[in-house]
Structure 1
Amino acid sequence: MINIIFEPNILLAFISALIMLFLYLLRLVKPQIARDQDIFFATLGLLYSSILVIHGWRLDPILLFSQVLINSILIPTCWENIRLRAIAHIFYKSKQDQNKTF
C-alpha cells in the first residue's frame, strides 16, 4: 500500500534528496573535488529519501525525530567534508606550483 501524505517526513525526504542531488551535480560543477564514492553515497541517499516518501506515514513521532537527528548530523558532516576537499585541492595545487618553480 502506498499512502503518500504531506507530513514532516515528506519535507525531510525532499531535503535529503536535494542534498544528494547536489552531491551528484558536484561531479559536473567541480570534478576536481568529486570522488568516485560520492555516487554510491548519493544513490543510497536517494533510496533513503524515496523510502521516507513512500513509507514515512508509518513513522511514529519518536522515529521521525530520530530521522531528523540523523539528517541534522549527516548534512553538516557532508558539507564540511566537501569544503575540506576543496581546501585540500587548493593546498595540493599550490604545493605543486611551488615545486615547479624550483
Structure 2
Amino acid sequence: MINFSFGPNIFLGFILGFGILLLYLLRFVKPEVARDEDLFFVTLGLLYSSILVVHGWRLDPILLFSQVLIVASVLGAGWENIRLRGLLVNLTKKRKKEKR
C-alpha cells in the first residue's frame, strides 16, 4: 500500500531528485566536467529520493531531521566536487596553453 500525502518528506525527496538530475544534466552542459561514475550516483540518488517520497510518511521527526542533514551534506559535497572538477579542467587548459 502506498500512502501518498504531502509533507516535508515529499519536499525533501523532490529537492534531492532535482539536485541529482542537475548532476545528470551536467553531462550535456559541460561534458569535460562530467565523469562516468556520475551515472552510478544518479541512479542511487533517484532511488533514494523515490524512497523518501513514497515511504517518507513513516519517518518520525528525529529521523526526518537526520534525512535532512544527510541530504544537505550530500548536496553540499556534490556541489563542492563539481566546482573542484571545473577548477581542475580550467587549470589543465591554462597549463596546456602555457606549454605551447
Structure 1 length normalisation: TM-score? 0.96
Q: Percent identity among equivalent residues?
A: 60
Q: CA RMSD in A?
A: 0.6
Q: State yes or no: 1:42 paired with 2:42.
A: yes
Structure 2 length normalisation: TM-score? 0.97
In 2: Cα distance, 1:71 partner to 1:53 partner: 13
Match of 2:14 in 1: 14
Match of 2:3 in 1: 3
Match of 2:54 in 1: 54
Which segments of 5 or more consecutive residues in structure 2 lack a partner in the other structure? none
Find runs of 4+ consecutive structure 1 residues off by over 6 angstroms: none
What whole-Å deviation, never above 9, does each CA across 1:76-95 have from its counterpart, x for those lacking one? Answer: 11101100000000000111
What whole-Å deviation, never above 9, does each CA across 1:18-62 have from its counterpart, x for those lacking one? Answer: 000000100000000000011110110000000011101111111
What displacement does 1:72 show?
A: 1.4
How many residues in Structure 1 have an aligned counterpart in Structure 2?
Answer: 100
Match of 1:24 in 2: 24
Match of 2:67 in 1: 67
